Structure 1
Amino acid sequence: MGDIRQSLLPRDVLSAAKELLYHLDIYICNLVQSGRQPPLVDSKTLELVEEFILHAPKDRNAPVRKMSALQELQLLEIMCSCFQEQSRDAVRQLIFSTLFNLQGNQADESRMMLLGKLVSMAVAVGRVPILECAATWFQRTHGVYCVRLAQVLVDDYCSMVPGSGPTLHNIHSMSPRFCCQFITAVTTLYDLSSEELTPPLELLQMIVLWIQEDPRLVLITFLNTPLSGNQPLSCLDVTPLGGLVRWCIKAPLAYRRNEKQVRTNGSSESETDAGPLFSALHLSVLQVFMLLPNILSEKGLYGHLALLQLDSVAALTSDLARLLEQTDEHTHTCADAHALSQLALDRLAQALQVAMASRALLCSREDLRAICSRLPHNNLLQLVLSGPVMYYNNIHTPPLAYSPHTAHSPIASHTTLPTLPTHTPLVSHPASHTQYHTQPFMTGVQFPFRPSH
């Protein structure tokens, strides 16, 4: 394609970009048709993309070609049509990677800006092929850039334009793969370490609804990706489970801290607003963990692949210890500070127990006690750290609908729902323990247990 450069130079920026996209489509169709594996785009083609679509100057003395806002909008519409009309997924994916795979050069900034605008438009007008290509891009790209793309969508649909959230909400039905990657990226972005890094309430509501409607949504990337070990550290996690667990556990203390920091201007999203949402999210995450034994067994990875990494749990407990220390220092300012602290510790205990029982977290009891050593005493956490954790086929999944009163603790009794598919218990348990029918998560504890009153 290098020989078309001279024909593109006299054209205006929009016409040149449109013409290059046309030739790029033909070139990549022929490349895929040739059967060459892997199909590699030559360097001259990449240079044309940088010069005539990303407008990176070929040399320092060359004039910078820029598009007006209207021309850029027209280019985005042309690109949407290009991907929509191309029927072959392999061709679409290769065109997308040619345009947006990061090359480690100055044009990468232009790539990211154009990518954010294109994906945002694809969400708005329902261009599924672009969302599918973007889902693949998420899997192959450094997490720093994945987070940047997620931030663009949050800004566009949850911050800048009030009432535009329902448009973003539809991505879970348009492209579940993209939705799963988006959830993973935003849970990486918002770590609740500050007010700015706390998820907007509208985003939180969307994620809760997505997972309630389909708990397997957060496992789609994992289910559709051949895996034999851990993902590269630079990439996003293969599921958003670690980030969602972090949200649920840190939320009671993080929201109370943020509320105190901004109380003077009265602009805080209060814990009373977000609390029930995080409770519902916590129950849904536990439900996802309980789906994993059969799924991991089917893929031959049961006991061999940790979807919840021990180092991320260690980082979470370290953050939680700091938040609890800050809460203790200011206990007199919040009457329910102790209750919020215990809620966070309860959620940690519940997540650890179910994750270990489902073999999503692979670690020894000694490792777990070591990373939790800085945490204050909590009855439920002490039971988890002391006794064996087993998975049982008679554990009922908690209801997806939530109540501010019952959602905080899945230990409480719930209306019986259909059981999960039968799974052979890892360890047989004495029938005498069935007397504790109101403590389903504690069944199988090997030492006397007396509920506190």
Structure 2
Amino acid sequence: MQSFHGQDLSERTRSALRRLEMCFSDSSSATASIPGLGGASEEQAAQIVDEHIFCQPPNADAVYYKLWFQKLSAIQELVILETLVDFYKNQTNESLCNSVFKTMFHAGMYDGRKELLYRLVSMAVGVECSHLLNSAAVWMQMQSCSSDVVVQLMKTLVHDYCHLLGGVESPLRRLPALSAHFTCNFITALCRSPGVANKPGITNDLLELFTEWILADPKLCLVSLSHSQNALLQPQRTTLWTSPTKPNTQTPVPGLVRCCLLGSLTDHRSGADGRCHSAPLWSKLHVALLQTICAFPSLPGAAQLELITLVDMQRIVMEVTEHIQKVAAPVNQDVTYRLLQVLQVALATGAFRCSLVDLRGIFKQIPPNRLLKILECQHLSSVPPQMHNVSVCRPLDLATS
């Protein structure tokens, strides 16, 4: 297909990427490489992307843009995607990679560009393009891993590499080696999928894969916290840890803890013979999560972070104790002990911090047993580590979480 300036589509895209590289490498502006702070450079970059990569004329409306993407053939889309992947494969400047990705896939983009985003990241997994996946990971964290566009991106990857190309040969199995940051956000986004009570859109095959990854590297679920100092994430930095009344959406740990505890209860109740046949899986995942929480103190800046916030813990305890009542012993006892083990390790490592009053309220919700009494003796006799000097949080409003 001929471009607006007589170049074919592949050459047009390569030329635009070269111009973007020059734009973000402009030494006349110290902030040119940081979208949001680059002034004229940022505006120029956005114009290059719109007009010369995605072929959007100036001031094009949503109707035109939708028609344009409908006219693109599968071959033409493939040419654009392959050219973008080649650019990232040959690019070593991390800041440039992140800036280009953020400019191409900005907030408020039309549906047609979102579809290309999903295909581009899926292709990056298939061809093992680490630089592109790392940039996608930074972008995911900027958008929030619970945002609709990120959750849909993860669902696309699950469809492509679990449903269409599942099994031991699935490229997803190599994901941590390609990009640990992307892998961490991949798990986080799936765990934050809305509308699912117990297992948030995650099959047992995926849970087995997550467990395998975390057992091999307990710090995998903490990678996103290490990247929170990235220049592109700085504008969002102040919103991450300012209040224990907000859930931690930067790491999959709270979601996986909730999934592990509720999943074993749900599987037991739904089993045809009254047994939980996936019990070994939940046990392994529980051990992996405890190892992750134990690894938290070694994270740089851990003293200023919260791995599981108060609102996260309140939600986990409330939902687990509610479901425990519907399951007979010994399953309910096992899950209660696992919940208390998470609390015990999180308090000991500083991964969970709260006031004495809040902690007492949490303990009161949990069915009494020997371990609970031990924890009460250990932690209710003195004020636990507290990150924020705040008053007692109100009961959790799930509608706002």
Pair 112,389 (structure 1): closer, same or farther in 2 beyond 3 Å: farther
Residue 134 of structure 1 deviates from its aligned partner by 0.7
Alignment of 1:217-256 (within 5 A): 217-226=220-229, 231=240, 237-256=249-268
Deviates more, 1:206-215 or 1:227-236: 227-236
Are residues 1:139 and 2:134 paired?
Answer: no
> Of the candidates 341, 357, 362, which is equivalent to residue 350 of structure 1?
341
Are residues 1:338 and 2:329 paired?
Answer: yes
Q: Distance in 2 between matches of 1:321 and 1:244?
A: 17
Are residues 1:152 and 2:145 paired?
Answer: no
Residue 18 of structure 1 deviates from its aligned partner by 4.8
Q: Distance in 2 between matches of 1:178 and 1:307?
A: 18
Residue 53 of structure 1 deviates from its aligned partner by 4.4
Q: Distance in 2 between matches of 1:161 and 1:316?
A: 33
1:29 match? 22
| C-alpha RMSD over aligned residues | 3.2
Unpaired stretches in structure 2, ≥5 consecutive residues: 33-37, 386-401
TM-score w.r.t. structure 2 length? 0.78
2:286 match? 282
Rg larger for:
1
Is the Cα–Cα contact under 8 Å of residues 97 and 137 in structure 1 kept in the other structure? yes
Residue 29 of structure 1 deviates from its aligned partner by 2.3
Unpaired stretches in structure 1, ≥5 consecutive residues: 1-6, 329-336, 391-425, 427-453
1:82 match? 87
Are residues 1:379 and 2:370 paired?
Answer: yes
Deviation string for 1:418-448 (max 9, x for gaps)?
xxxxxxxx9xxxxxxxxxxxxxxxxxxxxxx
Is the Cα–Cα contact under 8 Å of residues 140 and 235 in structure 1 kept in the other structure? no
Q: Distance in 2 between matches of 1:59 and 1:320?
A: 48
> Of the candidates 159, 170, 177, which is equivalent to residue 173 of structure 1?
177
Is the Cα–Cα contact under 8 Å of residues 211 and 285 in structure 2 kept in the other structure? yes
Are residues 1:9 and 2:14 paired?
Answer: no
Q: State the aligned residue count.
A: 357
Q: Distance in 2 between matches of 1:122 and 1:79?
A: 10
1:100 match? 105
Residue 187 of structure 1 deviates from its aligned partner by 1.9
> Of the candidates 62, 81, 96, which is equivalent to residue 91 of structure 1?
96
Pair 271,156 (structure 1): closer, same or farther in 2 beyond 3 Å: farther
Residue 125 of structure 1 deviates from its aligned partner by 0.8
Is the Cα–Cα contact under 8 Å of residues 356 and 362 in structure 1 kept in the other structure? yes
Residue 368 of structure 1 deviates from its aligned partner by 2.2
Pair 129,280 (structure 1): closer, same or farther in 2 beyond 3 Å: same
Deviation string for 1:281-331 (max 9, x for gaps)?
1112112222233x25x53x42x4321101011111222233234x15xxx
Are residues 1:111 and 2:109 paired?
Answer: no
The amino acid across from 1:377 in the alignment is P
For residue 33 of structure 1, give the secondary structure of its aligned residue in structure 2: coil
- Return the structure number with greater helix share: 2
Q: Distance in 2 between matches of 1:62 and 1:34?
A: 36
Pair 190,276 (structure 1): closer, same or farther in 2 beyond 3 Å: farther
TM-score w.r.t. structure 1 length? 0.70
Deviation string for 1:389-425 (max 9, x for gaps)?
89xxxxxxxxxxxxxxxxxxxxxxxxxxxxxxxxxxx
Is the Cα–Cα contact under 8 Å of residues 151 and 193 in structure 2 kept in the other structure? yes
